[in-house]
Amino acid sequence: MIVYKTEEEIELIKQSANILSQVHGIVAKHVTEGVTTLKLDSVAEEFIRDNGGSPSFKGYNGFKHSLCISLNSAVVHGIPSQYALQSGDIVSIDCGVFFQGFHSDSAYTHAVGEVAPEVTALLQRTKESLYKGIEFAVVGSRIGDVGHAIQTHVEQYGYGVVRELVGHGLGRDLHESPEVPNYGKRGQGMKLQEGLVLAIEPMVNLGSRHVVQENDGWTIRTRDKKPSAHFEHTVVVRKGKAEILTTFDYIDKALN
């Protein structure tokens, strides 16, 4: 079932998204060599709770942490651990915040120290593809238009677009209908209408699109062990231009 949001509900999601965006900024300051991924997780949870929210992921289907932290060839759903970040790593930070009855969801992939040029390019182009997809999150477009925009942008560089994992609607539930694939054909799929809130989240591999699940039951990794990037925003379908509720501005400030 598709749940369209009222303006009052969108305002609450916006408040959740503002906390989430700040979380990403706080965590970004800690993404440095020698810091454990468990430390990043604790920093995020403390900020979320101090600001009246709760971590959307913690307890979700038994997941025990506030962040999904996916390193290098891990695509998504990585589990925080005692692993200390090293120069050359890339680390995807995926977080959700539940506040005043509504979820928000966003992700950002960071480079740690000196990263190979081809990996730096992967991050930049995956981030670009997110905004290419968002351009089509407007009234009258179709789900396929969003995925097609993402897919065509990254495949021109020879990257693989993950098929098994997709974006989604969200609101009172973390995952709502519809699914939002990062690939597709123009003019296909559900027609988008005002008030639909979506998490758009390209997951793009330096090598092939194929993935495997680790024995931990959570971590999804590239089959060829090549790096993967993941960027995500919570957006509202609007007439003419999508409204992006999450922002990377806090991350940009932290990194600069």
Which residues contribute to the annotated binding site? Answer: 77, 94, 105, 168, 175, 201, 232
Q: Which residues are annotated as a binding site for a divalent metal cation?
A: 94, 105, 168, 201, 232
Q: Which residues are annotated as a binding site for substrate?
A: 77, 175
Contact 190, 143 (CB under 8 A): yes
